[in-house]
Amino acid sequence: MHRRQFLATSAAASAALVAPRALRAAAAPARIPIGFLGVTYSHGPAKLDLALKSPDWEFIGACDPTPAGRAICEKAGAKMISQDELFARARVVAVESEIRDHAAHALLALRAGKHVHLEKPTAATLADARAVFALAREKNLLVQGGFMWRYHPGFRAIFEAARAGWLGDIYLVRGFVSNNLTADRRKEWAEFPGGSMFELGSHLIDASVRLLGKPKAITPFLARHSATADALRDNNLAVLDYDRARAVIFNTALQAGGAPQRSFEVLGTKGTATLTPIEPGKLTFDLTAAAGPYKKGAQEVPLPAYKRYVDDLIELAAVVRGEKKLTVPLEEEFLVAETVLRASGMA
């Protein structure tokens, strides 16, 4: 082979090897810069870890000058940055600070022109919630609420069945969520009049509102039944009334024993869907007639494994890239925030 032919052949072979790699690199979506404003909320460390490891996100850093925040970042190996650097470099800001700061931190990020993943509860007052969503609408920015079961496959299957009409007309939703709150955390949760309904019951209020829409009336029943000398409302009930349906959410922070009792049940004129326990998910349908992929009668529905927060961040990245829309739009996100406050006796 002449030298010229050899060089040409070698170049072609090299190009053939490089081209697939180049195409794969070009096809891979660009990582989105994300930073954290606060990391001390109980869900914050797990989301911080996901952002550090996810191929969707370029982790810029975390801004949290508190001793607890510094300790969390040090343990995670997360870079700490100033607020100015956070807003200069991040495209998305995850607000994982303490509840009292959620709305204020979301407003700071929105004013800086950033999309926001906003930990629940969204705000401690209705005025603050209105301000957050008004500013997001004005600036055409995203706000994704941080409710831990929104992307749970059991809830998704129930929502699909309800919206397709497979359960008939929904007339009752029953939710139960409990824990045995330790003494050192009772003071933290007692900061707000809604107590454990505001902090924990909000997850099932979120699901109920997204399933049934805006209630015509909301009645909270909040009580402190512990012998502990504090102000925490720890044994609670909220009733959401609709024209032809009712949602009843039970919440307690007093449960003794092992795994907390957590369940969600939807009753309709053509059948019932029951998710109990929620984690690990066990879903059953009991239908009067075959519908969709389900047969008549009682049956357990296999569910894929679920890890909290993973699909939240996957969807948010896809929405920022313009590939889809958020599961929960701004108007519905505000309705959830408003209902959580009203069901917690705080609006």
CATH number at residue 106: 3.40.50.720
**pLDDT bucket at 92, cuts 50 / 70 / 90:** very high
pLDDT digits (tens, 9 = 90+) for 241-257: 999 999 999 999 999 87
How much is the pLDDT for 29? Answer: 83
Q: Residue 216: inside a domain, yes or no? A: yes
pLDDT digits (tens, 9 = 90+) for 326-340: 999 999 999 999 999
Q: Residue 283: inside a domain, yes or no? A: yes
Q: Residue 12: inside a domain, yes or no? A: no
161 and 132 in one domain?
A: no
* Residue 305 one-letter amino acid: A
114 and 40 in one domain?
A: yes
Residue 275 pLDDT exceeds 50: yes
268 and 180 in one domain?
A: yes
241 and 103 in one domain?
A: no
98 and 200 in one domain?
A: no
Domains: count for the chain: 2
Average pLDDT over residues 37-47: 97
Residue 324 pLDDT exceeds 60: yes
Give every CB contact of residue 216 below 8 A, 6+ residues apart in sequence: 241, 242, 243
**pLDDT bucket at 34, cuts 50 / 70 / 90:** very high
**pLDDT bucket at 26, cuts 50 / 70 / 90:** low
CA–CA gap between residue 10 and residue 293 (Å, rounded): 56
170 and 60 in one domain?
A: no
Closest listed residue to residue 175, CA positions, set 96, 85, 106, 273? 273
Residue 12 pLDDT exceeds 80: no
0.85 exceeded by pTM: yes
Q: Residue 342: inside a domain, yes or no? A: no
How much is the pLDDT for 10? Answer: 44
Closest listed residue to residue 114, CA positions, set 89, 148, 150? 89
pLDDT digits (tens, 9 = 90+) for 181-215: 988 889 999 999 999 999 999 999 999 999 999 99
**pLDDT bucket at 260, cuts 50 / 70 / 90:** confident
Q: Residue 27: inside a domain, yes or no? A: no
Average pLDDT over residues 156-174: 98
Residue 314 pLDDT exceeds 50: yes
Q: Residue 15: inside a domain, yes or no? A: no
pLDDT digits (tens, 9 = 90+) for 80-89: 999 999 999 9
Total residue count of the chain as it appears in this document: 347
Share of the chain above pLDDT 90, in %: 88
Q: What is the domain range of residue 195?
A: 153-307
CA–CA gap between residue 170 and residue 184 (Å, rounded): 40
Q: Residue 226: inside a domain, yes or no? A: yes
273 and 174 in one domain?
A: yes
Q: Residue 209: inside a domain, yes or no? A: yes
CA–CA gap between residue 312 and residue 306 (Å, rounded): 12
Residue 16 pLDDT exceeds 50: no
pLDDT, greater one: 193 or 29: 193
| Three-class HEC string of the chain | CCHHHHHHHHHHHHHHHHHHHHHHHHHCCCCEEEEEECCCCCCHHHHHHHHHHCCCEEEEEEECCCHHHHHHHHHHCCCECCHHHHHHHCCEEEECCCHHHHHHHHHHHHHCCCEEEEECCCCCCHHHHHHHHHHHHHHCCCEEEECCCCCCHHHHHHHHHHHCCCCCCEEEEEEEEECECCHHHHHHHCCCCCHHHHHHHHHHHHHHHHHHCCCCEEEEECCCCCCCCCCCCCEEEEEEECCCCEEEEEEECECCCCCCCEEEEEEECCEEEEECCCCCCCEEEEECCCECCECCEEEEECCCCCCCCHHHHHHHHHHHCCCCCCCCCHHHHHHHHHHHHHHCCCC
**Mean per-residue pLDDT of the chain:** 93
194 and 137 in one domain?
A: no
215 and 89 in one domain?
A: no
Residue 9 pLDDT exceeds 60: no
How much is the pLDDT for 27? Answer: 63
Are 110 and 139 in contact by the 8 Å Cβ rule? The answer is yes
Alpha-carbon Rg for the chain, nearest whole angstrom, is 24
CATH of the domain at 276: 3.30.360.10
How much is the pLDDT for 1? Answer: 45
Distance of CA 205 to the CA centre of its chain: 13
Give every CB contact of residue 105 below 8 A, 6+ residues apart in sequence: 37, 38, 93, 95, 97
**pLDDT bucket at 319, cuts 50 / 70 / 90:** very high
Residue 22, CB half-sphere, CA atoms under 13 Å: how many?
Answer: 6
Residue 279 pLDDT exceeds 90: yes
How much is the pLDDT for 292? Answer: 97
133 and 228 in one domain?
A: no
How much is the pLDDT for 245? Answer: 98
How much is the pLDDT for 7? Answer: 40
205 and 76 in one domain?
A: no
175 and 125 in one domain?
A: no
Are 254 and 229 in contact by the 8 Å Cβ rule? The answer is no
271: left (phi over 0), alpha (psi -120 to 50) or beta: left
**pLDDT bucket at 23, cuts 50 / 70 / 90:** very low
Bridge partners of 172, per DSSP, are: 246, 267
The long-range contacts involving 183-188, CB below 8 angstroms and separated by at least 24 positions, are: 183/228, 186/226, 186/228, 186/230, 186/232, 186/234, 186/253, 187/230, 187/232
Share of the chain above pLDDT 70, in %: 92
Are 143 and 118 in contact by the 8 Å Cβ rule? The answer is yes
